[in-house]
C-alpha cells in the first residue's frame, strides 16, 4: 500500500475522519509517498500533489467536492500524464503506477515537504495569474516549469533531476 499524506483542510473536504486514515508505514521503494493539499487559485479548488522524495509536483485544477472525493483515481491519471510529459514511455508509466494500485490516506508527515508545498503553491498561483487562468492551454507548461525550479530541500536541485536520478526514463 502506498500513502498520500493529506493536509487537514483536504481531509475535511474529502470527508475523511480519524478512522479513515491509514496507520501503515509507506513503502519507500519506487517514488514512495506523496503529500496533497487543497489550495484555491482564482477562487477555484485545486489539489497540489508533491512527491516526498523527489518533490515532483503537479496541480489538478478547478475541482468540485465530488471530484476531490475520488482523489486516488485523479491522482493516478494526472501522475501518468505528468510522467508522459517528462518522457516516460507507457510501459515505464505502468510500472510506476503499479506502486499506487492501493492507496491509503494519512496525515502529512514532513514539515520540509509542507514548506516546499507552500512555496510551490505561491509560484503556481503567480504563474497562473500570468496566463489567462486555469483553463489556459499553457497550463501544462506551468507544471513542467514548476518541476524545473531549484528547491532548497533538494540542495537546490530541481525536482525533475531528482526524479530522473530515482527512476531514469527509458531511452527510446
Boundaries of domain holding 74: 2-166
Q: Which three cell numbers stand for residue 91?
A: 510501459
Instruction: Give the CA distances from residue 36 to residues 40, 56, 71, 109, in Å, rounded to whole numbers and listed in that order.
Output: 13, 12, 10, 11
Q: For residue 171, name the pLDDT band (cuts at 50, 70, 90).
A: low
Give which of 103, 97, 113 is closest to 49, Cα–Cα: 113
List, for residues 10-65, the tens digit of each pLDDT value: 999 999 999 999 988 877 778 999 999 999 999 999 999 999 999 999 999 999 99
Find the mean pLDDT for residues 153-160.
96
Q: How many domains does the chain have?
A: 1
The CA distance from 11 to 5, in Å, is 9
Over the chain, what is the mean pLDDT? 93
Find the mean pLDDT for residues 124-139.
91
The CA distance from 57 to 143, in Å, is 7
The reply to whether 158 falls in a domain is yes
Instruction: Give the CA distances from residue 27 to residues 49, 53, 127, in Å, rounded to whole numbers and listed in that order.
Output: 17, 12, 33
Question: What is the reported pLDDT for 81?
Answer: 96
Cα 27 from chain centroid (whole Å): 17
The reply to whether 135 falls in a domain is yes
* CATH number of the domain within which 89 lies: 3.30.420
Amino acid at each position: 500500500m502506498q500513502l498520500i499524506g493529506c493536509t487537514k483542510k483536504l481531509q475535511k473536504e474529502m470527508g475523511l475522519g480519524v478512522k479513515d486514515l491509514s496507520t501503515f508505514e509507506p513503502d519507500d521503494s519506487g517514488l514512495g509517498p506523496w503529500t496533497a493539499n487543497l489550495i484555491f487559485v482564482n477562487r477555484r479548488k485545486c489539489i497540489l500533489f508533491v512527491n516526498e522524495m523527489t518533490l515532483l509536483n503537479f496541480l489538478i485544477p478547478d475541482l468540485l467536492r465530488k471530484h476531490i472525493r475520488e482523489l486516488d483515481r485523479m491522482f493516478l491519471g494526472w501522475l501518468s500524464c505528468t510522467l508522459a510529459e517528462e518522457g516516460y514511455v507507457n510501459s515505464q508509466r505502468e510500472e510506476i503506477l503499479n506502486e499506487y494500485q492501493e492507496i491509503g490516506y494519512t496525515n502529512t508527515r514532513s514539515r520540509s515537504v509542507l514548506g516546499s508545498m507552500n512555496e510551490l503553491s505561491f509560484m503556481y498561483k503567480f504563474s497562473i495569474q500570468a496566463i489567462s487562468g486555469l483553463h489556459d492551454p499553457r497550463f501544462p507548461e506551468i507544471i513542467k516549469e514548476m518541476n524545473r525550479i531549484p528547491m532548497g530541500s533538494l540542495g537546490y536541485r530541481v525536482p525533475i533531476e531528482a526524479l530522473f536520478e530515482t527512476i531514469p526514463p527509458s531511452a527510446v
